[in-house]
Amino acid sequence: MSASRPDKTDRLAVLIDADNASSRIADGLFEEIAKIGEASVRRIYGDFSSQRSKGWADVLSRHAIIPQQQFAYTTGKNASDITLVIDAMDLLHSSRFDGFCLVSSDSDFTRLAARIREQGVDVYGFGEQKTPESFRQACRRFIYTENLLPGRVTAEKDNGDAPPLAKPQQAADLLKRVIEQMDTEDGWVNLGSFGKQLLNLSSDFDPRTYGFKKLSDLVRSTKLFEVDDPEGGSVEIRLKPQAAEKPRATRSRRPASRPPSQPKSDYS
C-alpha cells in the first residue's frame, strides 16, 4: 500500500468489466469515484468488436479510459476477466494505489476484492442490484450502478425515468439494528458515526437506493427516529421511545457554538 499522504487525494485504480457494466453509467460512475479520490488508472476490459461492449467505444475518450481488447477466441472462456485480475495484482504490488474500483456485477471478482483488502487496500465495488452478495460484501463499499444512471427519481420528486430501487420502509430494520448496536446511555447517537456503522454492517447501503440523497432525510422518512438538529451543531438521532419502554431522558438543545466532534458519514 502506498504511503499515507494526508495533503493529497487518494490514488485509485479503476478497472471496468465491459461485459458486465453498461456504458450508460460512465458519467455517473466517474462523478462518484471523484468523491472517493483520483482515478489515476482507468482501464476497461472486453471484446469491443462484439455488440455487447460496443457502447463503451463512444465514452472512452471522454473519460480517458484505456481499452484492453480481448478477443473471444473460444466460447465460454472469458479472457477479459483473467486479464483484469492479472492487471489488478500487478497494480496492487506496485504499491502506488490507495484503493481499487472494480466495476462489474460478476461474482467471479469476489476473491480478487478479498485479496486486495487483505493487503490493506480499500476496494470499492460498482455493479447492478443483482450482483451476488459475496462480491458486495467483499468490498469496503458497494454502489449500485442503477443509482448512477441519469434521471433517477427521488422520493421527494415524482419525476425521472425510473423509481427508487427500494421503498424507504425497507431500510427500517437495518437502521433499527444498527442504532441498537450503538448502545449509549441516553439512546442518542451521532448521525455521522451512525452512517459509518451502517456501511460497516452493510457495504451496499446507500440512501439513494431508497430515493434520498442524504441519510438524514431517509431517517426522517421512516418516522421511527427522533432527530436533534441544532443550528451549527452535529445531528444526533435516537429511536422513538415505545409505549412499553421506560421513558428515556429528554434531550436539551445544545448551544449553536458547539463544534461537531464526530466524523461525518459519506451520506449524512
pTM: predicted TM-score of the whole model, two decimal places: 0.76
Buried b (16+ CB within 10 A) or exposed e, 25-42: bbebbbebbeebbebebb
How would you write the pLDDT of the chain (268 residues) with one tens digit per residue?
Answer: 444 455 578 999 999 999 899 999 999 999 999 999 999 999 999 988 777 777 898 899 999 999 998 876 655 457 889 999 999 999 999 999 999 999 999 999 999 999 999 999 999 999 999 999 999 999 999 999 999 988 664 544 444 456 778 888 888 888 998 998 887 888 889 999 999 888 888 888 999 998 888 899 999 988 888 898 888 788 999 888 762 254 445 555 455 444 455 555 555 5
Maximum Cα–Cα distance for the chain, whole Å? 69
| 43 neighbors 87 (Cβ within 8 angstroms) | yes
Q: Looking at the DSSP assignment, which residues form a beta bridge with residue 44?
A: 16, 67
> What is the C-alpha to C-alpha distance for residues 174 and 18, in angstroms, rounded to an integer?
33
Collapsed DSSP state (helix, strand, coil) of residue 174: helix
CA 43 to chain centre: 20
- Give me Rg for the CA atoms of the chain: 21
- CB atoms near residue 219 (< 10 Å): 26
Query: Could you tell me which residues are beta bridge partners of residue 226?
Result: 238
Q: Which residue has the cell 500487478?
A: 90
